[in-house]
Chain A
Amino acid sequence: DGGITQSPKYLFRKEGQNVTLSCEQNLNHDAMYWYRQDPGQGLRLIYYSQIVNDFQKGDIAEGYSVSREKKESFPLTVTSAQKNPTAFYLCASSIKAGNTEAFFGQGTRLTVV
């Protein structure tokens, strides 16, 4: 089945550690996105990629990094520089950036203790 897969579903890390969230899609989509969701704040864009080997900062990129070495993969690293990393992280993809519907993964809930 085609879809977008995020792993793991739940992740616990100690403060000061970097952690990488996985996102894989087999939809042959060019564009991929990472969003952060906090209660009462909707979804905020962290990074997005319109094509392989290219990505742009979103609205809240500080403390995060990404790579797009393969079309199907867009991992997100939450670094120790991110001041408040505990959140629900959602990955999405679309055929092309912007004006087409996005397909979402099931999310990763990151808790930093």
Chain B
Amino acid sequence: AQSVTQLDSHVSVSEGTPVLLRCNYSSSYSPSLFWYVQHPNKGLQLLLKYTSAATLVKGINGFEAEFKKSETSFHLTKPSAHMSDAAEYFCVVSDLQGAQKLVFGQGTRLTINP
């Protein structure tokens, strides 16, 4: 069965500094991986997705993530944080051959300090 572990429940950075949100996954088959963002009391918006093409995936708002099969990781990064990036971020895995459902990590709350 697939699973996702987000290694930090809360990350705090200063505006203009890099952001790193860590995600490890477990999957029996070739996974699809996603990062979603959620602002308070809102639905989730897709930031980026990996579906077995290029291992470095670029998303919206300057975010990117690198798929590393040897490390079973899919960490999310951004070179320079903006105040509007403050939100909850979810790493999600789905097996291409498995149960055909999305499995969410616990979420990482990102706080941006002025």
Q: Which residues of A pack against B, CB within 8 Å?
A: 4, 6, 33, 35, 40-45, 48, 50, 58, 88, 90, 92, 96-107, 109
Contacts and interface: CB of A to CB of B under 8 A. Distances in A.
Contact of A101 (B46, B101, B106): B46
Interface residue SS majority, chain B: loop
B9 A99 contact: no
Contacts of A44: 104
Given A48-B101, A98-B98, A104-B45, 5 more contacts: A33-B102, A42-B106, A43-B44, A99-B96, A107-B41
Contact of A42 (B43, B90, B95, B99): B90
Contact of B106 (A41, A90, A109): A41
A98 B95 contact: yes
Interface in B4-19: 9
A102 B92 CA distance: 10
Contacts of A104: 36, 43-45
Contacts of A90: 43-44
B101 A58 contact: yes
Given A98-B99, A99-B32, A43 B45 contact: no
Contacts of A97: 100-101
